[in-house]
Amino acid sequence: MLVRRLTTLRQVRLSSSIANHEPAGPSVKTPLPGPNEQALRKRMDNHFQTISMNMFVDFEKSFGNYMVDIDGNAFLDVYQQISTLPLGYNHPELVEFARSDPMITSTVSRAALGAFPRSDFPDAIEKALVSIAPKGLKNCQTMLCGASANEHAIKQAFIWYQTQKRGGKAPDDEYLTSCMEQKLPGTPNLTVLGFQGGYHGRTMATLSVTRCKTYQKVDIPAFQWPIAKYPRYKYPLAENKAYNDAQDKECLEDVELKIKEQKEKGHDVAVVIAEPIQSEGGDKYCSPQFAQGLRDITQKNGIVFLVDEVQTGGGATGDFWCHTHWNLSTPPDIVTFSKRMLTGGYYYADHLRMTEGMRIFNTWVGDPAKLLLLTKVVEIIKRDHLLEKNREVGKHFQSELSKLAAHHPNLLSTPRGMNTFAAIDLPNTEMQGKFTKACHLNGLHVERCGAQSLRFRPSLVYEKKHADLTIELLDKTAKQFEK
């Protein structure tokens, strides 16, 4: 069955458009969850809890922009596995590439990349990562996921900060002895400044800079790291310029204040971590002026500026890197990635290169198969001009989203976005939940972010016809609530 399906997919290979081979449209024939879903969930829950689960997916039947569940329901999927499929489901060329020897051996005999990399690893790094590196950042490090990317990037920044303090010297005996007892100077009082509403992962250190949802944090000990305000703009932006400029000013002042307060306590802020768009936090944007302000403050204080592009990176905002839209006078020091990039990791500036080995390390240090797959993804994105196409579709989608909000002023508000990376708000959390479920029943798989937003994270094979269908399904759903 799988072989037959994949053979069909291979035949699609030379087709000009993925869309021509997708289902004709969404179709939801069962209640949600459907009968097969309920039975499988019950079975799995005996051993693997299903309380956080959304639905089981039939990955053999899902294709392009369409996700099919195990009851045969087909959804136009604008969420794409939590924004992780750069080219939709089962892109025929990726399926074919997955049959190649390097993909097979790298999957079957996974390299411990930090110690025993494959001979094609340098080539893969150049093609998959260096070829699309953000301006000014040619060094990269692969990791496992978004949180592990942030976690290790923060550690690398701390190592640099301390090395600077030692005048470039390696840690001496005093450092090496005291670190084993978690005492000064080996274990320094460095902090990471994050923002209200930020999300950077759920490992122990990243959770200390994640301030998004209470259930993510409650009961877990945290580093006492400073929290600053992130702008909360009024929309439409152009009509609220004075208010929004004041937000930028207030938040930048808050950052400076928090850095000063830490210094007074003897706790240097070594890193400022920020998302270009607070995504899990509800698609909250910051202006290029605010970002430049952060860059200026970090440079002035010798702090590492870490831009977390785990959710925004990979092309959906019209560029591989969302922070490019800021046009910063000097690049950030670190940019982290994962999700659509298929592998976790980060880019970093030359001055952060280390002189001692084994300090940023773990068993796998990423996944070679995923990096190889990314070489193909990048090749396809460039060859098929998918970023350019995404900008066209995005412009159209943004304008239609605004019209939709105007048609349903009591239900939908604050349409916003960058190309196809977009969001719209519902009146409150309860409506957010109800509206999302109703969209699913209408065949649109959209998901929530923040307290009242719906987010759109389609892949780069999302075309105008998909954008129009998304709007049509949202409109249909909105009308059901207005009856």
Ligand X SMILES: Cc1ncc(COP(=O)(O)O)c(C=O)c1O
Residues lying near ligand X in the complex (CB under 6 A) are found at: 145-147, 150, 199-201, 275, 279-280, 308, 310-311, 338
CB-based closest residue to ligand X: 146
Query: Which CB sits closer to ligand X, 89 or 346?
Result: 346
C-beta of 422: minimal distance to ligand X in Å?
Answer: 16
C-beta of 277: minimal distance to ligand X in Å?
Answer: 9
Query: Which CB sits closer to ligand X, 89 or 195?
Result: 195
Furthest CA-CA distance within the chain? 74
C-beta of 139: minimal distance to ligand X in Å?
Answer: 20
Q: Please give the structure tokens belonging to residue 229.
A: 């305000």
C-beta of 182: minimal distance to ligand X in Å?
Answer: 26
C-beta of 330: minimal distance to ligand X in Å?
Answer: 22
| CA separation, residue 10 to residues 24, 99, 370, 462, 463 (Å) | 20, 11, 20, 20, 21
Identify the CA nearest to 366 among candidates 148, 104, 84: 148
Query: Which CB sits closer to ligand X, 423 or 471?
Result: 423
The one-letter amino acid at 168: G
Query: Which CB sits closer to ligand X, 147 or 471?
Result: 147
Q: Give CA–CA dist 110/112, Å, rounded.
A: 7
Only one residue has tokens 């509800």, namely 282
Query: Which CB sits closer to ligand X, 338 or 375?
Result: 338
DSSP 8-state class, residue 413:
E
Which value, to the nearest 10 degrees, does the dihedral of the CA atoms of residues 207, 212, 217, 221 take? Answer: 50
Q: Are 478 and 408 a contacting pair, CB within 8 Å?
A: yes
Secondary structure (H, E, C), 215-243:
HHHCCCCCCCCCEECCCCCCCCHHHHHHH
Q: Are 362 and 114 a contacting pair, CB within 8 Å?
A: yes
- Beta-sheet strands, E only, within 30-157: 66-68, 74-77, 139-143
C-beta of 75: minimal distance to ligand X in Å?
Answer: 21
C-beta of 280: minimal distance to ligand X in Å?
Answer: 5
Q: Which residues pair with 458 in a beta bridge?
A: none
C-beta of 20: minimal distance to ligand X in Å?
Answer: 32
Query: Which CB sits closer to ligand X, 141 or 311?
Result: 311
Burial 204-231 (b: 16+ CB within 10 A, else e): ebbbbbbbbeeeeeeeeeeeebbbbbbb
C-beta of 78: minimal distance to ligand X in Å?
Answer: 16
Query: Which CB sits closer to ligand X, 340 or 466?
Result: 340
- End-to-end CA gap in the chain: 44
Angle between helices 464-482 and 386-407 in degrees, nearest 10: 20
| Sign of the four-CA dihedral 300, 306, 307, 313 | positive
C-beta of 211: minimal distance to ligand X in Å?
Answer: 12
Q: Give CA–CA dist 50/34, Å, rounded.
A: 15
Q: Give CA–CA dist 275/284, Å, rounded.
A: 9
Query: Which CB sits closer to ligand X, 137 or 274?
Result: 274
Query: Which CB sits closer to ligand X, 186 or 282?
Result: 282
Compute φ and ψ for 277, nearest 5 degrees.
Answer: -135, 120
Query: Which CB sits closer to ligand X, 277 or 381?
Result: 277
